Amino acid sequence: MTDRYEQLVEIAQALVAPGKGILAIDESGGTIKKRFDSVGVESTEANRLDYRSMMLSTEGLGTHISGAILFDETIRQQLPDGTSLVSLMEQAGILPGIKVDKGAKAMAGFEDEKVTEGLDGLRERLAEYAELGAKFAKWRAVITIGDEIPSRACIDANAHALARYAALCQEAGIVPIVEPEVLMDGDHDLDTSFDVTEATLKALFVQLYEQNVMLEGLVLKASMVISGSEAQDRAGVEEVAEATVDCLLNAVPAATAGVVFLSGGQDDVEATCHLDAMNKMGDMPWPLSFSYGRALQAECLKTWAADPKANREKAQQILLHRARMNGLAALGEWSEEEEN
């Protein structure tokens, strides 16, 4: 076994260590503006630094958070005293990660479908991110459910790009997180979500195999199998948990280092509850944990935005609480009582 292989396996396992998960704070410029707009904060570089450094300075966060995914701007930022956010994270025992995709763009010839871009120059960008301290990376593909979509072409194009990205990451000694997000938007039922997620994951793992990606040094960031947000009779917690685990068992090789979920628009406690229900189902071939953005940040953001200076510690406590709740869910040890 080579040093690089061992290093990748070690990082991947650390990301999904028992009771730990990932904090996704890699919103691109447009998305963070949307989030800040919703709480009446101007999206300036200083405000983004204040907000994200507030979260990363939360005392004890490293007990439940293994790594945080940063945006290009964030991985280069420093506190006024010159401490970089990366060293802040290292001191807290939180692995620095970086979003390296350039966003999901309209797919030519396929109305309402997207393909994620960012492969050009990726080898060079990864080398720089490794220098800056990144230990893992993330690339998100977006699969939309709708009338006659997703198309096979959309699934395959995204799977191919995800696998090429993953191979380049491993070459650079960076653990790839592959995120093929099947969107919750729409009125589709659970079975449709299952079928699309299964087809997407199967296509992805074929590409990962063909492009020589080592699964022991890779983490899958998956969407849960869940009813569309506008569906009439939305499936309950047990149904979502069972369908998601069933789908993963059908499509994800056991060698994969771990599976972390995105929250995708679920509310905070709902996302925790679903993860917990899956882990209560018993032993799985891979650890099942979280890599939530909105479901970890929503309350923290609101509290911070109301008064960034006065509410700093309060916002940190809220983030720490959600991180602890999800850490328990990653062990299947969460219960409603823990929320109080």
Residues that bind ligand 5MM (CB under 6 A): 24, 26-28, 31, 140, 181, 262-264, 292-295
Closer by beta carbon to ligand 5MM, 9 or else 186: 186
Can you read off the two tokens belonging to residue 114?
């997207």
Phi, psi of 96, deg, nearest 5? -80, 130
Closer by beta carbon to ligand 5MM, 72 or else 239: 72
Cα–Cα distances in angstroms (integers) from residue 61 to residues 58, 94, 100, in the given order: 6, 8, 24
Q: In this chain, which residue has its C-beta nearest to ligand 5MM?
A: 293
Closer by beta carbon to ligand 5MM, 10 or else 72: 72
Q: What count of other Cβ atoms lies within 10 Å of the Cβ of residue 23?
A: 30
Closest CA to 92 of 73, 131, 64: 64
Closer by beta carbon to ligand 5MM, 69 or else 126: 69
Nearest approach in angstroms of CB 263 to ligand 5MM is 3
Alpha helical stretches, state H, the chain:
3-15, 29-38, 45-56, 72-75, 85-92, 122-132, 152-171, 190-210, 237-251, 268-279, 294-306, 312-331
Cα–Cα distances in angstroms (integers) from residue 8 to residues 2, 3, 112, 180, 261, in the given order: 10, 9, 36, 21, 20
Nearest approach in angstroms of CB 113 to ligand 5MM is 16
Closer by beta carbon to ligand 5MM, 176 or else 264: 264
Q: Which residue numbers are catalytic?
A: 179, 221
Nearest approach in angstroms of CB 1 to ligand 5MM is 31
Closer by beta carbon to ligand 5MM, 217 or else 293: 293
Residues forming beta bridges with residue 175, ordered by sequence position: 136
Nearest approach in angstroms of CB 140 to ligand 5MM is 4
Instruction: Judge whether 80 and 52 are in contact, CB under 8 Å.
Output: no
Quickly tell me which residue has 């993330």 as its tokens. Answer: 138
Considering Cα of 167, then 171, then 172, then 176, what sign does the dihedral take?
positive
Q: What count of other Cβ atoms lies within 10 Å of the Cβ of residue 232?
A: 8
Q: What count of other Cβ atoms lies within 10 Å of the Cβ of residue 186?
A: 17
Nearest approach in angstroms of CB 38 to ligand 5MM is 13
CA distance 219 to 217: 7
CA distance 106 to 289: 31
Nearest approach in angstroms of CB 110 to ligand 5MM is 19
